Amino acid sequence: MKDKVIIKFDNVSFAYKAIADDDEMAATAVVDGFSLDVPEGQFLAVLGHNGCGKSTIAKLMNGILVPDSGKVTVDGMSTSDDEKIIDIRRTVGMVFQNPDNQIVATIVEDDVAFGPENLGVPPEEIRKRVDDALEAVGMYEFRGREPHRLSGGQKQRVAIAGVIAMNTKCVVMDEPTAMLDPHGRQEVMDAIRMLNKERGITVVLITHYMDEAVKADRVVVMDKGKIVLDGEPRMVFKNVEKLKALGLDVPQATELAYRLRKSGFPIADDILDEEECASAILRALEVK
Amino acid sequence: MIKDITIGQYFNGNSVLHRLDARMKIVLTVAFIVSIFFCKNFWSLGLMVLFTIQTVIISRVPLKMVLKSIKPIAIIVVFTSLLNIFYISGGTTLVDGRYIDITTNGIFTALFMATRIVCLVVISSMLTYTTTPTMLTDAIEKLLSPLKIFKIPVSTLAMMMTLALRFIPTLIDEIDRITNAQKARGANLDDGNFIQRIKALVPIIVPLFVSSLRRAIELADAMDCRCYGGPGRTRMKQMKLRFRDFAALAIMVAFIAGIIVLNYYFGAVLIK
Ligand SMILES: Nc1ncnc2c1ncn2[C@@H]1O[C@H](COP(=O)(O)OP(=O)(O)O)[C@@H](O)[C@H]1O
Ligand SMILES: [Mg+2]
């Protein structure tokens, strides 16, 4: 079942409506004719400049928002189907940007237990899941702490544990590292990678850090509510000029290789990280 | 500095009081508070004081913290005592002033009132020192659950309480940040008369209000994502009454009986 699709966008359009206006003025589409298949087990990164609709896409993925036209299906269930909404949300979990606004309890382990409690899981089973989830993100020793005493990275790992404890098949993360320092970012990225590689959970990571996107299986680049680039990181980051025109960066190593090549240095155009870059430069120098 | 705020005033410990069921603790605290007002003579008052001291010792909460909980009410205690001394008449008159009399009844009433208030505050703070906010809200939810038959949304109210407790430190943090931001823009928050200072708070309260609304919206989405309001809410931490809870109940019953007996046996101290 390698290619089973877990989240499917089928020609989806969505616009935010101003509630005060009766005559629906100026409701320009934020997402417009959007189609995307996310196969089970994939680590997908979504890139795009501010306001291009990334968060909107994320919220469409588990029925926080429902499409105006087109269809979003999660594991075969339509998000527009009210009866299925709980099943959809126990399949696709979500981690938001601001860790302070998604932690509900005054004790770490109580917060992790919140999801399974809502799903009516028996107490002993919740205990097991909570311990396991906290263990998985390396926050077990902090289980009795108060969340507001933790660092940003730790809070975000608690939020991830909260999703793991719900046994979701997929996790959507909307810029989970945007408010963190480099150390916290590293902690969270490690947790995300563990989730995907060890537990086989599908990950949709929305980010504006290129070095995070490089680690994904697939990168989707959005602009004005549409997909403009889609493929393996190596393929996507080849399009240095196009990405720059969209107001995005490329990984630093890619940028260096790009500039070298532009000034006539014979170096490959699919370089992603420092190591690849260094060895490519060495090879090129030896040939010379 | 903000990181040092404890939610509520829980003192982390492992005494018998800490391990008692929170529901039992609430019921016992209420029972104690009611019984306080039945003390009519120095014998029963003494028993109450002894009971309070014993409770503090058992809890192993440092005396300094207990005293801290009395501090805010010190003024009220002194003030009511003075009022009682000067305005209550009856009994033997000790000082016969032109405008005020000081009588034994006045002094006794003052003494009783002061002792009662202090004991009340100490015992209630024992409850919050030995019980985490989560346990407290859970217990309140359980105790109020019979109200569900009147369609009162007890679980929702308990959730609101938990969230309020959860967001106190976050909002204090936020106030700190906004205050600094406004000061950096030249806002003067520390000078001026009363009215001016109140006005100076507006640039802090408005952004705080806006950001709280944004937080609330995001929090609501996050709770939706975690299936709040889903198929049926179970709890990881089950509350269970154990032997020690019934032992505590027995002690409280004995205490109240003691108060009643002492009252009856020695009569009231105030002379009508
Ligand atoms: N709740 C909302 N109401 C109205 N407009 C919104 C709302 N949320 C986002 N938008 C608008 O929709 C567009 C896309 O927003 P968003 O999906 O948050 O983008 P991104 O996450 O990529 O920065 C933006 O122009 C934004 O102003
Ligand atoms: Mg966004």
Cβ A118–B6 below 8 Å, yes or no? no
Is the confidence at residue B4, as pLDDT, over 60? no
- Report pLDDT for A19: 62
Judged by a CB distance cut-off of 8 A, whether residue A131 touches chain B is no
Closest among A76, A99, A77, A91 to A185, alpha carbons compared: A99
Low-confidence ranges of chain A (pLDDT < 50): 1
CA distance B166 to B174: 14
CA distances from B267 to B42, B92, B93, B263 (A): 10, 17, 21, 5
Assign residue A157 the CATH number of its domain: 3.40.50.300
Give the minimum alpha-carbon distance from A23 to chain B in angstroms, rounded to a whole number: 25
DSSP B175-226: HHHHHHHHHHTT---SSS-HHHHHHHHHHHHHHHHHHHHHHHHHHHHHHHHT
> Which ligand neighbours the alpha carbon of A221 most closely?
1
- Report pLDDT for A26: 57
Cβ B221–A59 below 8 Å, yes or no? yes
What pTM was estimated for this model as a whole?
0.83
Q: Would you place residue B101 in the very low, low, confident or very high pLDDT band (cuts 50, 70, 90)? A: confident
Domain residue limits at A93:
39-66+76-233
Percentage of chain A modeled with pLDDT above 90: 68
Pick the most confident of B5-9, B90-94, B128-132, B263-267.
B128-132
Most distant CA pair in chain B, distance = 74
Instruction: Give the pair of three-digit tokens for residue A47.
Output: 């890139």
B96: CB partners within 8 A, 6+ apart? none
Q: How many cross-chain Cβ pairs, A to B, lie less than 8 Å apart? A: 111
Confirm whether A84 is domain-assigned: yes
Nearest residue on chain A to B168, alpha-carbon basis: A148
For ligand 1, which residues put their CB under 6 angstroms from it?
A 16, 30, 48, 50-56
Residue B44, judged by CB atoms within 10 A of its CB (0-12, 13-18, 19+), counts as buried
- Residue with token string 């705020």: B5
Confirm whether A2 is domain-assigned: no
Is the confidence at residue B93, as pLDDT, over 80? no
The residue nearest atom 16 of ligand 1, judged by CA position, is A53
Task: Dump pLDDT digits (tens) for B59-85.
Answer: 999 998 888 888 888 888 999 888 888
Q: Would you place residue B1 in the very low, low, confident or very high pLDDT band (cuts 50, 70, 90)? A: very low
* Average pLDDT of chain B to the nearest whole number: 87
Percentage of chain B modeled with pLDDT above 90: 43
Mean pLDDT in residue range B190-196: 80
Which of B225, B233, B234, B239 is the best mutation test for A, with the most CBs of A within 10 A?
B225
- Report pLDDT for B272: 53
Question: Comparing A235-249, B55-69, B125-139, B188-202, which segment has the lowest mean pLDDT?
Answer: B188-202
Confirm whether A264 is domain-assigned: no
Confirm whether A105 is domain-assigned: yes
Is the confidence at residue B154, as pLDDT, over 80? yes
Which of B128, B218, B236 is the best mutation test for A, with the most CBs of A within 10 A?
B236
- Report pLDDT for A20: 59
Is the confidence at residue B34, as pLDDT, over 70? yes
Confirm whether A1 is domain-assigned: no
Segments making up each domain of chain B, as ranges? 1-132+238-272, 167-230
The residue nearest atom 26 of ligand 1, judged by CA position, is A51
- ipTM of predicted assembly, 2 dp: 0.89
Confirm whether A5 is domain-assigned: no
- Report pLDDT for B105: 82
